Structure 1
Amino acid sequence: MEVGFAPPVSGSWATPEHMIHVARHCEQLGYHSLWTFQRLLVPADLGWSETYHSVHDPLTTLAFLAAHTTRIRLGVAVLNVPFISPVVLAKQAATLDIFAGGRLDLGLGLGWADEEYQATGVSKHRRGQRADEFLAVLRALWQQDVAERHGEFYQVPPTRLAPKPVQRPHPPILLGGHAPAALRRAGRLADGWVSGSQADLTGIGEAVATVKAAAADAGRDARALRFVCRGAVRVRTTTPAGRGPLTGTLEQIRSDLGRLAAAGITELFIDLNFDPEIGSPRADARASLRTADEVLEALAPAR
């Protein structure tokens, strides 16, 4: 199982200097990847988790980190497809892949926040069908010299997108979501699946199996798919009551990584942004960075 890390993107510790520090430390220690996430808005009453109160744009962050790294892969988990045109994203992702030297992993999802749907002017109606068509437009623009699509949701006249991404036929596309339909879509159409921050990691093997079954039903090689887990790690000095996966001491968390690999996860990235003691605007930014360095050293992949 490959191991990645999420740079500071949420809360008080998410400064450019801290991002560079963490990204370079990850690369020095042999981590496989860096991952961001998207949150456009937060309700005025701040009723959501503090992790979502102050979040940087994911693609801009990855472009910034591409300039400060050389090897490590750069992923977003996830961008929500209803909120953006596939043509705009095709151009942005192609440019980022070029700037990064072919290191982009593109995670896509459907979103869940009614406020973001309303603010971006889109409807949840038939959003699954919209996602299918979105993927077809992306691939056409990246792979075809002249692309043309006339669908229910997107109309693309005969046009050319250049320059193309470095990775051919295109950057890997991973789909998020935990609903059965979302898991089946990942198996049918994507290069893999990525779990969310609220995923039940004790049953993640069932989600992996659903994706693989859908791939097999579609005549695809399920063995070629990637299964990426967002590891919402919470390091504590003592064992919490009712401890769940990835919460507890560093030794306990290390043992959890092995169980996730046994469940079929091929890649996991450690994400401290979802720890309320770190990814909050109220957290002590310097203490958060010290914790990140400790975790990076303790859970670094074997080299």
Structure 2
Amino acid sequence: MMQFSFRIPNADYLGFPATPEAIVTAAQRAEALGFDAILLNDHLIVKGPPEMVASWGNVYEPLTTMAYLAARTERIKLATSVLILPHRNPILTAKTVATLDQFSNGRIILGVGAGWLESEFAALAVSHGDRGARTDEYLKVCQACWASDPISFQGAYHQFDDMHCSPKPVQQPHPPIWIGGSSKAALRRAAEFAAVWQPVPTPLDDLIANKAKLLVACEKIGRKIPPEIRMSFRINVSDITGKDPHGPNGDRLAGHGSVDDIAADIRKYRDDADLDQFQLNFNGCGSLEQLEESMTVFMEQVRPMVDG
């Protein structure tokens, strides 16, 4: 059976204001409909063109939000997608994630990325130039903190010996790590750390090429079982949103259009790229009501056409 996760509106990126009520409603609706995970965005402080601020100026901090959602849901997995790892002290991140995993009874997924917005790094007094190196080391710090006490670590940015950091996560050896991105560095990082690789919305031919590159990266480090792949896929049910499903060149965008169009697109990615997991972004929804309707139509009408 196909697996579908869903990016909830903890930011204004869908075109309507993120609120506690909207976040909880979307999370609980996703659980009721059978999504296997909900994913939360991350930006701490931003500036930029109006469209950037309109989408990402109002973002509910994902780890804090996950703590509340853990108490308001029962089954569904709770994931960051992606947490900008260099923005936070990795020991605090590890402690927070382990605590969340305890309170949620093992439902946490840590999706991480290196970040990109230079002004955000500057405001946080974090170097932008070495964000990749920090991301790699911070993942190792988290893994060290999740191991049995006492713990030790020697890195370029953090060093400690014979220390204690509990509680440990419910999930052992630690919650699943998901790595986003399709750059050479991201693919190498996914090969080293990831249970799941999350490619960004990508044309099919590019996805297949990057999947091959990921396998090569795994071979280089002797990893025999590669990460699973959960494709990011933008969904626009045009009958609900009223938005034109075509791009600037007049071609229909993948995942945009009628229920039949969307199902056909997912089947093509499923069959040609051998995928059974998708992360859905419901684009074009101008309200929480449109989002809920789009989620329902997808799970009740599209999913039966792509399962199997």
Q: Is residue 251 from structure 1 mapped to residue 260 from structure 2 by the alignment? A: yes
Counterparts of 1:175 and 1:88 in 2: how far apart (Å)? 19
In structure 2, what is the equivalent of residue 187 of structure 1? 191
Q: TM-score normalized by structure 2?
A: 0.86
Name 2:220's counterpart in structure 1.
217
Using the TM superposition, give the Cα deviation of residue 285 of structure 1 relative to its aligned residue in structure 2, in angstroms: 4.1
What is the root-mean-square deviation of aligned Cα atoms in Å?
Answer: 2.3
Please tell me whether the aligned partners of residues 201 and 245 of structure 1 are also in contact (alpha carbons under 8 angstroms): no
**Separation of aligned partners in 2, 1:264 and 1:148:** 40
Q: Give the 3 Å change call, closer, same or farther, for CA 176–123 of structure 1 in structure 2.
A: same
Q: 2:104 corresponds to which residue?
A: 100
Q: Show CA shifts across 1:57-89 (max 9, x none).
A: 112222222112111111111111111111010
- Worse-superposed segment, 76-85 or 26-35: 26-35
Q: Determine whether 1:140 maps to 2:144.
A: yes
What are the Cα deviations for residues 26-45 of structure 1, in whole angstroms up to 9, with x where unaligned? 22222211111112223165
For residues 261 and 59 of structure 1, what CA distance do their matches in structure 2 show? 31
Query: 2:56 matched to 1:52?
Result: yes
SS in 2 for 1:48: helix
- State the alpha-carbon separation in 1 of the partners of residues 46 and 189 from structure 2: 28
Q: Where does the alignment leave 5 or more consecutive residues of structure 2 unmatched?
A: none
1:294 is displaced (CA, Å) by: 3.3
The alignment-based identity, stated in percent, is: 32
Deviation at 1:97, TM superposition (A): 0.8
Tell me if 1:29 matches 2:39: no
Cα drift, residue 239 of structure 1: 4.6
CA distance in 2, matches of 1:288, 1:39: 22
Runs of 5+ consecutive residues of structure 1 not aligned to the other structure: none
Distance, in Å, in 2 between the alignment partners of 1:80 and 1:186 is 15
Alpha carbons of structure 1 residues 172 and 284: separation in structure 2 relative to 1, 3 Å = closer
Conserved? CA contact 2:28–2:72, under 8 Å: yes
Alpha-carbon contact 1:246-1:252 (below 8 Å) kept: yes
With over 3 angstroms needed to count, the CA separation of the structure-2 counterparts of 1:299 and 1:269, relative to structure 1, is farther
Give 1:201 deviation, angstroms: 5.1
Aligned to 1:19: 23
Task: Confirm or deny that 1:68 pairs with 2:72.
Answer: yes
Q: Give the drift of 1:25.
A: 2.4
1:126 equivalent to 2:125? Answer no
Partner SS for 1:222: coil
Shift, 1:284, TM fit: 3.9
**Kept after mapping to 2: 8 A contact 1:18/1:289:** no
Q: How far apart in 2 are the matches of 1:218 and 1:261?
A: 27
Q: 2:116 — aligned with what? A: 112
1:25 partner SS: helix
Secondary structure of residue in 1 paired with 2:168:
coil
Read off the aligned partner of 2:125 and give its amino acid letter: G
Q: CA deviation at 1:13?
A: 4.8
SS at match of 2:5: strand
Q: Which has the higher contact order (CA 8 A, sep 6+)?
A: 1
The 8 Å contact of residues 226 and 266 in structure 1, kept in 2 or not, is answered as: no
Please give the TM-score of this superposition, normalised by the length of structure 1: 0.88
* Structure 1 stretch displaced more, 100-109 or 229-238: 229-238
- The separation in 2 between residues aligned to 1:249 and 1:125, in whole angstroms, is 43
Q: 1:31 to 1:124 in 2, by over 3 A?
A: same
Conserved? CA contact 1:94–1:164, under 8 Å: yes
For residue 41 of structure 1, what is the aligned residue in structure 2? 45
2:34/2:299 contact within 8 Å kept: no
Match of 2:281 among 266, 271, 291: 271
